[in-house]
């Protein structure tokens, strides 16, 4: 066997990869991080959760993130089927110690994280795309080939590979593990606006979720006066596009009067983007000498802004797993089994709500929350991302779910109609239909 060039090779310099690289380098491992782009680069997903803040402290980037972030104290839900708006504040969650998060420009946020990984001792190489991976048997390590921007190819031998390649899903594609989420399917259109009308005072940084007939919108205010707006829609809706994407996006906004009013005097300041096949998962989370983090493993609908939190939490657990394996190979199986349970736990906790977020029953519960049996506090803990610690929210969440099923049963005809319509809405598009020509 040829000598190893590094202990850990991390593919991807987003939140998951940069977090894992920083933690592993801090533990004394030789870490190389390969990122296909060059920071700063644009990325969607600007809304963070309170559960992120502890990881920022651990990484030593809390002050830097605070410096670029807009304070986010809660979320507002707006429904065209209700006469009022509903606001939730993280300070009212079960654990009162996490009252806020941040809205951030991902270009700035991701750059802070990847530069922090370098400062911890990781070798960071940008503009370098992985083209081939060769995995052997357990303990043999991996061989990775990548191409630099200038066309030069380079080869690395590593004891362990961390796949944090995001939606590129490097290993899931290579191993043919990636599959559409059978319970959810959506597409997204998004852009940035200046001059949007925001909430006032301490609520200015709230994320707002607008329901509409074909899905839902996000409205995320950023510190520099820009507001990120996006529509997460059913695949059939994007398929019907027959005009330029920016015009289609503005016409989609017009279908939601409450959002259109807030954007009445706003100006679109960047190119509108679209992506399809939005929700997916991998059958497996790891191999003998590699594991998958964050979006490289699964991506779920972003209605609860869980993406960055799930990515970074998976990186924390992933770094502990890799450190255990490298220091004590005999604990490999147990460490990987624990990692698998953890990385599945987060998406599973959010998914129950995501699969039902557009149902009439769930809308009613969100728009008229009650704190009977502390159900509202438990729900807010989920919205804050506080799902990994040993907090006693489980009985209250079970009560909330029982109430959901009871109300769905009481309104059975409506529930059956909504269920049938959702089955139609999540139907995968045929080849060539993904974005109506996007």
pLDDT digits (tens, 9 = 90+) for 4-42: 999 999 999 999 999 999 999 999 999 999 999 999 999
For range 275-282, the mean pLDDT: 83
Q: If you search the block for the tokens 């005999």, which residue do you land on? A: 330
Give Cα separations from 93 to 350, 365, 380 (angstroms): 16, 16, 5
Cα 227 to chain centroid, rounded: 18
> pTM of the full predicted structure?
0.93
Angle (CA) 266 229 263, round 5°: 25
Report pLDDT for 277.
Answer: 65
SS (H, E, C) 398-423: HHHHHHHHHHHHHCHHHHHHHHHHHH
Res 147 pLDDT > 70: yes
Helices 375-383 & 394-410 angle (0-180, nearest 10): 110
Asked if 270 contacts 192 with a C-beta cutoff of 8 angstroms, the reply is: yes
Asked if 361 contacts 408 with a C-beta cutoff of 8 angstroms, the reply is: yes
Asked if 292 contacts 8 with a C-beta cutoff of 8 angstroms, the reply is: no
Determine the 3-state secondary structure of 53 from DSSP: helix
pLDDT tens digits, 250-266: 999 999 999 999 999 99
Give Cα separations from 404 to 88, 289, 374, 396 (angstroms): 19, 42, 15, 12
Q: What are 344's two structure tokens?
A: 């599945």
Question: Band of the pLDDT at 426, cuts 50, 70, 90?
Answer: confident
Question: Band of the pLDDT at 435, cuts 50, 70, 90?
Answer: very low
Q: Which residue has better confidence, 139 or 347?
A: 347
Report pLDDT for 222.
Answer: 97
pLDDT tens digits, 212-253: 999 999 999 999 999 999 999 998 898 888 899 999 999 999
pLDDT tens digits, 56-99: 999 999 999 999 999 999 999 999 999 999 999 999 999 898 89
Res 429 pLDDT > 70: no
Q: Domains along the chain?
A: 6-69+104-180+280-350 (3.50.50.60), 72-102+185-278+356-438 (3.30.9.100)
- What count of other Cβ atoms lies within 10 Å of the Cβ of residue 73? 18
Res 431 pLDDT > 60: no
CA dihedral for 57, 59, 64, 69, sign (positive or negative): negative
Asked if 85 contacts 368 with a C-beta cutoff of 8 angstroms, the reply is: no
CA distance 197 to 218: 14
Res 48 pLDDT > 60: yes
The alpha helices in 189-292, defined as continuous H runs, are 235-239, 245-254, 257-262
The DSSP code for 177 is -
Q: If you search the block for the tokens 């990385």, which residue do you land on? A: 343
Which among 381, 338, 297 has a CA at the least distance from the CA of 16? 297
Report pLDDT for 1.
Answer: 53
Asked if 32 contacts 58 with a C-beta cutoff of 8 angstroms, the reply is: no
The DSSP code for 331 is G
pLDDT tens digits, 175-196: 999 998 888 888 899 999 999 9
Asked if 353 contacts 382 with a C-beta cutoff of 8 angstroms, the reply is: yes
H or E segment and range at residue 362: helix 360-367
Residues in the chain: 438
Give Cα separations from 157 to 310, 359, 380 (angstroms): 29, 50, 45
pLDDT tens digits, 361-416: 999 999 998 899 999 999 999 999 999 877 789 999 999 999 999 999 999 999 99
For range 155-171, the mean pLDDT: 96
pLDDT tens digits, 293-318: 999 999 998 899 999 999 999 999 99
Report pLDDT for 425.
Answer: 87
Determine the 3-state secondary structure of 257 from DSSP: helix
Res 434 pLDDT > 60: no
């Amino acid at each position: 066997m040829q000598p190893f060039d590094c202990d850990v090779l991390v593919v991807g310099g987003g939140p998951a990869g940069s977090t894992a690289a920083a933690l592993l380098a801090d533990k004394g491992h030789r870490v190389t991080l390969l990122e296909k782009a060059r920071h700063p680069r644009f990325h969607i997903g600007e809304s963070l959760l309170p559960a992120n803040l502890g990881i920022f402290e651990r990484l030593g980037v809390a002050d830097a993130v605070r410096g670029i972030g807009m304070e986010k104290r809660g979320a507002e839900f707006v429904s065209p089927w209700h006469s009022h708006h509903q606001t939730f504040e993280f300070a009212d969650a079960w654990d009162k110690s996490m009252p806020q998060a941040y809205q951030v420009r991902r270009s700035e946020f991701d750059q802070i994280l990847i530069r922090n990984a370098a400062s911890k001792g990781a070798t960071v190489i940008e503009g370098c795309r992985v083209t081939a991976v060769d995995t052997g048997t357990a303990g043999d390590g991996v061989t990775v080939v990548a191409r630099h921007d200038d066309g030069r190819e380079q080869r690395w031998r590593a004891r362990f590979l961390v796949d944090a390649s995001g939606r590129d899903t490097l290993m899931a594609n290579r191993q043919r593990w990636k599959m559409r989420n059978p319970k959810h399917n959506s597409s997204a259109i998004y852009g940035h606006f200046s001059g949007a009308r925001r909430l006032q005072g301490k609520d200015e940084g709230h994320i707002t979720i607008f329901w509409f007939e074909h899905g839902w919108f996000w409205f995320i205010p950023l510190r520099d006066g820009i507001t990120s707006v996006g529509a997460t829609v059913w695949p059939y809706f994007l398929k019907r596009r027959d005009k330029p994407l920016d015009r289609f996006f503005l016409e989609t906004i017009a279908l939601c009067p409450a959002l259109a009013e807030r954007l009445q005097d706003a100006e679109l300041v960047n190119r509108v983007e679209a992506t399809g096949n939005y929700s997916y998962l991998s059958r497996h989370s790891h191999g003998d000498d590699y594991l998958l983090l964050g979006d490289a493993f699964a991506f779920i609908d972003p209605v609860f802004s869980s993406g960055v939190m799930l990515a970074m939490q998976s990186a924390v657990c992933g770094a502990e797993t890799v450190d255990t394996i490298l220091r004590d190979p005999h604990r490999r199986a147990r460490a990987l089994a624990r990692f698998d349970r953890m990385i599945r736990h987060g998406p599973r906790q959010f998914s129950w709500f995501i699969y039902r977020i557009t149902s009439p029953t769930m809308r009613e519960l969100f728009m008229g929350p009650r704190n009977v049996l502390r159900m509202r506090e438990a729900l807010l803990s989920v919205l804050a991302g506080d799902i990994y610690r040993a907090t006693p929210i489980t009985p209250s969440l079970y009560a909330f779910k029982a109430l959901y099923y009871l109300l769905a049963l009481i309104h059975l005809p409506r529930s059956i109609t909504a269920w049938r319509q959702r089955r139609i809405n999540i139907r995968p598009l045929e080849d060539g239909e993904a974005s109506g020509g996007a």
